[in-house]
Chains A and B, each alone.
Chain A
């Protein structure tokens, strides 16, 4: 086992968890997914090419495992719980409302097709370039671009319909 791979893994864990949370919509499933990705990465550390981006390699592993899981089971869980992201009943009203708005965003994301979700999370949430996202998803840049456009338009439409957009962005601005 390579120590440097472990160190790099630990450094990238928060981003992997965020990516996995967006993919699965569940805190528990996300951590299971990241754990499985860590185990796979360590067992295949020899396949990592020095000089390439480690985070991209890990995103690709997470995505691959998640897609495999999707293929293996029916994921019609529209009502899936937002475990680990519950709205506390004792929160001040404004903060609770803002959290509800953010939850709307997460629910809207889950309604998108898997490949659009991946594109959104890699580019819009994690800030990868189209080229980097294309390498992770193993598709041409043009495909990422079109997936991203469809996803952004669909997401924005869903948020507008649910009026979650204004509230969530106001909260984001409020800090």
Chain B
């Protein structure tokens, strides 16, 4: 039998070798010190790997996982809450929108329209840049409003130039580059009666299309993630701990949901 390679040595260590071959490998190990050293190192790395994850087995099980295993509805809310906590880290606790409101007023004046200047609809909507007036996140019209905003403003026709507002100083900008989405700029609008930021991301991937992320402070109660579509625009929206969020794009709902998840994961590091 030729000198066993790493694959046979590992199978030997894992007890996955037939009797005859096992004896032959054992004989090799008896007379080959270098092979013994190799086997010892491979065994040690396996032990190290097991040790690195053993502590997970000793951790108490999160309630949300037990609830999920039991099929209890609370698990969904817990998952949403966990995501919400991560979003909260992005926005921080400071009332950034106070500064944003002042900036919005100036920006609105400069470009010739004001916050609260009328509804944006799918048909007959105003010119790009107009925003919805006092739009309620959970209202039936919100997806239409946001979709209209998206179509009119985010999904610009070739040659149209975008104008953006300045981000508040302490605003943590979500990073969507791992999705191939590049931040283009932010616009102010109103959600739940509060100034909000509409963050515009674009991509060369036409299946994914541009994406708009809306973040706002909100005095309204928490609300679970809701999905709606308006034409070919899909919208996810929710409220958590004084913040309102929405995500809109032409991507399918699962894709948007994954973007939402991925954003939350990235925000853990902020």
**B31 within 8 Å of A by Cβ?**
no
Q: Is B21 an interface residue (CB 8 A)?
A: no
Select which of B42, B48, B75, B86 is within 8 A of A168 by beta carbon.
B48
- Which residues 13-32 in A have Cβ within 8 Å of B in the complex? 13-15, 17-18, 21-22, 26, 28-29, 31-32
User: Roughly how many angstroms separate A77 CA and B47 CA in the complex, as a whole number?
Assistant: 26
Which of B95-103, B147-155, B182-190, B254-262 is near enough to bind chain A?
B254-262
Per-position binary interface string of chain B over residues 35-75, scored 1 when its CB falls under 8 Å from any chain A CB and 0 otherwise: 00000011011111111111111010110111011110001
Task: Say yes or no: A38-B56 contact (C-beta < 8 A), given A29-B265, A149-B10.
Answer: no
Give residues 35-69 of A contacting B (CB, 8 Å). 35, 38-39, 42, 69
- Is B50 a contact partner of A81 (Cβ separation < 8 A)? no
With an 8 A cutoff between CB atoms, is A139 at the interface?
no
Whether A145 sits at the interface, judged by CB under 8 Å, is yes
Tell me what chain A mostly uses at the interface: helix, strand, loop, or mixed. helix
Is the beta-carbon distance between A38 and B45 smaller than 8 angstroms? Answer: no
- Is A105 at the interface (CB under 8 A from chain B)? yes
Q: In angstroms, how far is the closest chain A Cβ from the Cβ of B57? A: 5
Instruction: Provide the residues of chain B in CB contact with A76, threshold 8 Å.
Output: 178
Task: A18 to B14: give the CA distance in the assembly, Å.
Answer: 20
| Chain A residues at the B interface, C-beta cutoff of 8 Å | 1, 6, 9-10, 13-15, 17-18, 21-22, 26, 28-29, 31-32, 34-35, 38-39, 42, 69, 72-77, 80-81, 83, 85, 101-103, 105-106, 109, 120-121, 123-125, 129-130, 145-146, 148-149, 152-153, 155-156, 159-160, 164-166, 168-169, 171-172
6 CB contacts below 8 A, A to B, read: A39-B75, A74-B178, A103-B52, A124-B49, A130-B11, A172-B50
